[in-house]
């Protein structure tokens, strides 16, 4: 393990998660087969984050509730006004306030998703050299070369897909949903559904592409690596006098390197989960709050208001799916590359 430098990885982990999490200690525990973290402490941590996020978002939910109730009062008591145009103008003003409030809320929510995507990309970038060096030391040279190139391609592909396609589509979806509620005629509903479908298909297609790559490489690279390591071991055993001892030492060295490689993979899985744990909980809380507000306000509020809140819940759900899918892509890549390389 001393031949692998974890300094850069530790610096990134400290920057992203703060001090207190030692990556090399996680690698040692993973190589020894120990528990990387306690499920009890993890459950308590999730509960604290859930309650903390509810308290932080309390003010904006109260503002949304007040605006929705005010809009309902104007709509249901429009007969009080001699001129119904007064109630319509008042409703439009309230809706525009709600429009700005929801846009501001979504901007901060999208910032959470963008930040965690960047964090995962940065961590995978510094992890790849150490992880695949350990794979090379375990005589899995072919697998290390193929998967190293694939991981770099995956990191750049995920960043391109999120910045160019998925995030812009979600942002346009939010604007269409809010403008559609303002017009009151649902002229943009089909276009918003098309964008939602496009985001969902893109995420599913990326997951299917990564799984297909692992299935194909799982049939090719392990055989080449197994042949090479067997040839090296048998070649050393054929040396007169020291063949048996040399073969045993070679098997011991390769086995130790494989344990270190798997330990690095287990530690990387734990760090990725810790990176995404808090943002995913935050996104889940915000998404649930939008759906809950829409359900509670539907009997009393105007239909356009509840449709707006439901659309915002759909948009946050798309952000949640994006982060969760990218996390699953990285987790599958590390886990399956460790599995096919022994």
Band the pLDDT of 242: cuts 50, 70, 90. very low
Spell out the domain ranges in the chain: 7-57+106-340
Asked whether the beta carbons of 147 and 135 are under 8 A apart, the reply is yes
pLDDT at 266: 81
pLDDT at 29: 65
CA dist., res. 207 & res. 245, Å (int):
46
Strand, helix or coil at 213?
helix
**pLDDT for 92-132, tens place per residue?**
777 788 888 888 888 888 998 998 898 888 888 888 888 87
Judged on CB neighbours under 10 Å (0-12, 13-18, 19+), 241 is exposed
Band the pLDDT of 201: cuts 50, 70, 90. very high
Maximum Cα–Cα distance across the chain: 109
Least confident of 117-121, 224-228, 309-313: 224-228
Least confident of 36-45, 92-101, 190-199: 36-45
Q: Is the pLDDT of residue 78 over 50?
A: yes
Q: Residues, the chain, total?
A: 342
Question: How confident is the model over 251-280, as a mean pLDDT?
Answer: 77
For 60, 64, 81, 97, the CA distances from 104, given in Å and listed in that order, are: 10, 12, 32, 11
């Amino acid at each position: 393990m001393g031949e692998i430098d974890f300094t850069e990885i530790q610096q990134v982990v400290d920057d992203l998660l703060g001090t207190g999490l030692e990556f090399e200690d996680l690698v040692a525990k993973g190589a020894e087969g120990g528990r990387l973290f306690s499920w009890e402490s993890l459950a308590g941590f999730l509960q604290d984050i859930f309650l903390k996020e509810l308290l932080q978002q309390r003010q904006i939910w109260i503002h949304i509730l007040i605006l929705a109730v005010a809009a309902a009062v104007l709509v249901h008591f429009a007969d009080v006004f001699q001129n119904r145009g007064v109630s319509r103008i008042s409703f439009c003003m309230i809706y525009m306030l709600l429009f700005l409030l929801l846009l501001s809320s979504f901007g901060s929510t999208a910032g959470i998703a963008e930040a965690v995507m960047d964090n995962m990309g940065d961590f995978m970038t510094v992890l790849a050299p150490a992880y695949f060096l350990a794979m090379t030391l375990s005589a899995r040279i072919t697998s290390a070369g193929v998967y190293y190139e694939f991981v770099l391609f995956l990191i750049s592909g995920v960043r391109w897909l999120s910045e160019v396609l998925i995030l812009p589509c979600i942002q346009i979806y939010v604007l269409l949903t809010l403008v559609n509620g303002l017009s009151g005629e649902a002229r943009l509903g089909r276009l918003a559904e098309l964008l939602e479908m496009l985001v969902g298909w893109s995420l599913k297609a990326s997951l299917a592409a990564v799984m297909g790559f692992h299935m194909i490489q799982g049939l090719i690279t392990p055989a080449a690596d197994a042949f090479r390591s067997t040839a090296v071991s048998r070649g050393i055993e054929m040396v007169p006098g020291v063949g048996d001892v040399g073969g045993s030492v070679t098997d011991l060295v390769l086995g130790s390197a494989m344990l270190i490689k798997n330990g690095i993979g287990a530690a990387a899985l734990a760090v990725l989960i810790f990176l995404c744990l808090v943002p995913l909980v935050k996104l889940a809380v915000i998404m649930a709050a939008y759906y809950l507000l829409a359900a509670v306000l539907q009997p009393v509020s105007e239909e356009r208001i509840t449709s707006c809140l439901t659309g915002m819940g759909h948009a946050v759900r798309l952000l949640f799916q994006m982060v969760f899918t990218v996390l699953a892509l990285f987790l599958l890549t590390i886990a399956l590359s460790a599995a096919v390389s022994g």
